[in-house]
Structures are given as structure tokens and as C-alpha cells.
Amino acid sequence: MTLFSEIDYKNIPKHVCIIMDGNGRWAKILGKKRTFGHQKGIEVVKKILEESLKLGIEYLTLFAFSKENWDRPTPEVKTIMKLLSKSVLKYKNTLIKNGVKLNTIGDLNDLPLESKNSIEQVKEITNKNQKITLTIALSYSSRWEIINSIKKIISDCQKNKFNIKNINEKTVNNYLCTNNLPYPDLLIRTGGEKRISNFLLWQLAYSELYFCNTNWPDFEKKDFHNAILEYQKRERRFGKIN
Ligand code: IPE
Ligand code: IPE
Ligand code: MG
């Protein structure tokens, strides 16, 4: 069991992102439907958000639904969408009370109107909150995001907003969905797979990666602490020599 005191509070990752994977497999082990795993997964989001607030993490970004996930069976997709709008409304007051700013990346227009509206509503109400930015990736995929930004950059170049010669890293960043977020310091993926699955490909260039076998519904405070502790052991060099 990890002790709170082992964590170095001077070296807390500012931006943590999580690929919350393993809901379906978790449910299957229990002989339940995959959607039962998604339901349980929401409770874990609540716990990890609370813990992030306690630790002083400023940005928490969660991969909840990818562009590719639309190709799953319709009943599963529908249940996930319903769960999303229900949960966002259920936790609205908790988010307000705790200074959580809800943010999203991805194309909310792909979502059923009800889910889109609930999310937009809570984003609007929590817009001025400053304690932590909770970003949910919804109908998000990194290649889609990059293609979109290329289109917008070209279009703005054609409108003479800037010269092609002046395009730099900052310009590209400004056109990504994450333009209001710092680069992630730590990426956690639960569920045992060791891949990025089209998540934040540009942004993760120098993030520390942490993979664990625990399925998301089983992911607990102590697992989160372990990830942070592992992060704190890493030497981040960014290509330089320390
Ligand atoms: C992650 O869990 C949640 C979503 C992708 C919506 P999965 O649903 O991918 O669960 P596994 O990986 O199949 O167990
Ligand atoms: C990644 O998980 C997406 C989310 C967690 C939302 P997937 O389950 O979709 O990824 P793959 O298919 O295992 O790569
Ligand atoms: Mg999965």
C-alpha cells in the first residue's frame, strides 16, 4: 500500500492523462455485460478526480471515447452516450463546488444531441473554475485532430493570417484541440495494453508513459499513487544531458 507521505509534493505532474481501458474485460470476468464495466468506470473517474484535486494536479485528461469506438455495437455505444450525459449532470454540483473546469477534446457534434447538450451546459457553468481542468476526450482521435489542424492552418495561410515560413511548434499547437492545455507530463494506460491507440500523438512527444495491468474499474487510489511515484523516479531529459 502506497503511503501518501511517499509522494514528493514538489514534483507533482502538472498534467496527467489517462487511457481508461479494460472496462469490457473487467465486466466479462464477472460474467456481466460490457456496459456494466463502463458504469463502474464512471465511479472510478470520480475517485481519481478527487485524488487529483488532493494531489494538486492541475490538468487531468481522460480518454473516454475514440473516433474508432463508434464502430462498436450500437447498444454499447448508446449506453456509453447515455451514461455520459447522465453522469455529467449527476456530478455537475460536485464539479462546481470543487473548482473543476470541465473541458472536452474531440468532435462533440458526433454525439447524440442530449449528450452534447448536457456536456456543453456543464462546460459553460464550470468555465471560470480554476482548481483543476478536467478534459474528457470524446469522439477524439489524434490523427483526426492533426488532419483538422492542417486544414485550418492551410486555410488561414490562404487568408494571409500568417506566412507559411513562420509556422512553428507554437502555431501547430494553437490549432490542436489541446491549445488551452500544457503538454501532458504523465500518461497512464490501464488494462494491460501497451499502445497509445490514437491518443494525443503530438502532445505525448516527451511525456512519461506508465502502463499497468489493472482494468480501469479496479483502478484505485493506490494504483494512481504508484503511477505518480513511478513518474517521480523518472529523469526527464527532453533530449538534453543532465
Ligand atoms: C475502455 O474500456 C472504455 C472505452 C473504450 C469506451 P473498453 O471498453 O475498451 O474495455 P476493454 O478494453 O474491451 O476491456
Ligand atoms: C482506447 O481504448 C480508447 C479509450 C480508452 C476511450 P480502446 O479499447 O478503444 O483501444 P484498442 O482498441 O485496444 O487499441
Ligand atoms: Mg479497450
Cell of 143: 490523427
| 69 assigned to active site | yes
Model confidence pLDDT, tens digit, residues 153-199: 999 999 999 999 999 999 999 999 999 999 999 999 999 999 999 99
Task: Give the pLDDT confidence score for residue 5 in this predicted structure.
Answer: 72
Model confidence pLDDT, tens digit, residues 8-51: 999 999 999 999 999 999 999 999 999 999 999 999 999 999 99
Query: Probe ligand 1: pick from 18, 19, 20, 25, max atoms within 8 Å of CB?
Result: 25
Percent over 90 (pLDDT), the chain: 98
Which protein residues have a CB closer than 5 Å to ligand 3 (ion)? 21
| 185 assigned to active site | no
Closest CA to 132 of 48, 65, 239: 48
Task: Give the pLDDT confidence score for residue 242 in this predicted structure.
Answer: 85
- pLDDT bracket for residue 4 (50, 70, 90): low
Among 69, 98, 148, 198, the active-site one is: 69
Sign of torsion, CA 109 138 144 205?
positive
- CA–CA distance, 120 with 113 (Å, rounded to integer): 10
Asked if 64 and 96 touch (Cβ cutoff 8 Å), the reply is no
Sign of torsion, CA 142 148 150 153?
negative
**How confident is the prediction for the chain on average, in pLDDT?**
97
- The CB density around residue 216, as the number of other CB atoms within 10 Å, is 26
Task: Give the pLDDT confidence score for residue 23 in this predicted structure.
Answer: 98
Asked if 11 and 57 touch (Cβ cutoff 8 Å), the reply is no
CB 63 near ligand 2, within 6 Å: yes
